[in-house]
Amino acid sequence: MAVRQCENDEGGVVTSRSVGHDWTTGTTPLEAVVRGSGGNALFLAASGPPRIPEQPVVIFEAGVGACSSNWGPVRRLLDPRIRSYCYDRAGYGRSPPASSSSPPRTAGALATELLDVLASAGVEPPYILVAHSFGGMIAREAVALLGPDDVAGLVLVDANQEKTHRDLREPLEPLDSLAGPKMSALLDESGLLAGGEHYTANELHRLALDAERETTTKASVAEAAQLETSSESLARKGQLETMALGMQPVTVIRGGTKRDYQRVIAAIQRSELDNEARQVLERLHHLVEKELERVDDDLQREQMRLSANSRFVRALQSGHAVIATEPQLVADEVSSVWESCLRGSF
């Protein structure tokens, strides 16, 4: 049972009477808040034609601070034969905030909530999981819960893995303190928020509304606080060592994180800093210029060990926000994995 959604003039979600929805063959676009058996309620949206029995469906997973609306261009550019689903985690976009009794917002807990809601909606495996950034860890926790028979394929878009926090995030965390409350402006100036030209006017409006709601609920803060715990939990599963997906197709798309950091550092350098801050920035600049490319490439390529049937793709026109800046590339890779699942090859 789901709750029908509509929007008021301010873009807020208004719930009306409870109704049943056919999430697998019903007419799309279909959007509603679905309550799982565990009590969590998440906004779910379906696109594409009716599902053919036993064909895989695509499930999109966003990163920290991102909503289902971030996937707008990729969803629109998919092979039109594909049935796909995206959703908002608790506190993001059109999903209600997590309750005070909810478990810590680790990747494993978030994967459990997603699968619970999909089951309540009757969206059964097999799934092709498509994940960006931190969403990659959630998708891999879902793989651990489901097993390889229920995951037909995996597309990781500049995704985090179990060592990303230790090897990449922690060394560069001082950038946040140097940027301070100006970080959003720096991101815009540096080009990290580029890609708007690939969104329709309606998609951009939806993005703005969703970002405003997430800022209020601070869902990203709760998730970021659990990054180390999420990383340790995923590492203990040994998925890279055991080739967890066997021969299921896996595509790893790598963006250009180095370019993003270069732009942020250049923007900070133009601001007023004391001597100590400038020394910190100089050390970070050296790390970005001398080490980041190698570390980032190693982290991305390691994820190919999830399957003996994997491929590596470079998004040459992008920083980290590949789904915004090169949505056609992502859509083509997702469509290719879906097609290969039908053929039984990759």
Provide DSSP, 5-25.
EEE-TTS-EEEEEEE---TTT
The per-residue pLDDT for 17 is 29
Give the DSSP letter of residue 100: T
pLDDT tens digits along 49-93: 999 998 999 999 999 989 999 999 999 999 999 999 999 999 999
What confidence score (pLDDT) does residue 344 get? 75
Q: Is the pLDDT assigned to residue 19 strictly greater than 60?
A: no
Residue pair 15/33 in contact by the 8 Å Cβ criterion: yes
Residue 176 has pLDDT above 80, yes or no: no
pLDDT at residue 255 is higher than 70? yes
Q: Which of 56-70, 103-117, 172-186 is predicted with the least confidence, judged by mean pLDDT? A: 172-186
CB atoms within 10 A of CB 83: 22
The CATH code belonging to domain 2-343 is 3.40.50.1820
Q: What is the pTM of this model?
A: 0.91
**Around 285, how many Cα atoms within 13 Å sit in the side-chain half-sphere?**
14
Asked if pLDDT for residue 188 goes beyond 90, the answer is no
Are the C-beta atoms of 220 and 64 separated by less than 8 Å? yes
Least confident of 200-204, 238-242, 247-251: 200-204
Q: In the structure, what pLDDT confidence band is assigned to residue 264 with cuts at 50, 70 and 90?
A: confident
What number is the average pLDDT over the span 230-257? 97
Task: Parse the chain into domains and list their residue ranges.
Answer: 2-343
Q: How far apart are CA 37 and CA 91, in angstroms?
A: 18
pLDDT of residue 189: 52
Lowest mean per-residue pLDDT among 18-27, 71-80, 290-299, 335-344: 18-27
Which is more confident, 7 or 302? 302
- Look at 273 and 29; give whichever has higher pLDDT: 29
Given a cut of 60, whether residue 4 has pLDDT beyond it is no
Q: CA triplet 250, 301, 192: central angle to 5 degrees?
A: 95
At residue 194 the predicted structure's pLDDT band, cuts being 50, 70 and 90, is low
Question: What percentage of the chain carries pLDDT values higher than 90?
Answer: 71
Instruction: Report pLDDT for 181.
Output: 63
* Amino acid occupying residue 3: V
Instruction: For residues 191-200, give the mean pLDDT.
Output: 74
Q: Can you give the three-state secondary structure of 277-318, one letter per residue?
A: HHHHHHHHHHHHHHHHHHHHHHHHHHHHHHCCCEEEEECCCC
Question: At 51, is the secondary structure helix, strand, or coil?
Answer: coil
Give me the sign of the Cα torsion angle 112, 302, 222, 267.
negative
Phi and psi, residue 234, nearest 5°: -65, -40
The mean pLDDT of the chain is: 89
Which amino acid is residue 47, in one-letter code?
Answer: S
Q: Other CB atoms closer than 10 Å to residue 322's CB: what's the count? A: 26
| 8 has pLDDT over 50 | no
Contact 157, 253 (CB under 8 A): yes
Q: 169 falls in which pLDDT band (50, 70, 90)?
A: confident
| Predicted confidence band of residue 5 (pLDDT cuts 50, 70, 90) | very low
pLDDT at 328 > cutoff 70: yes
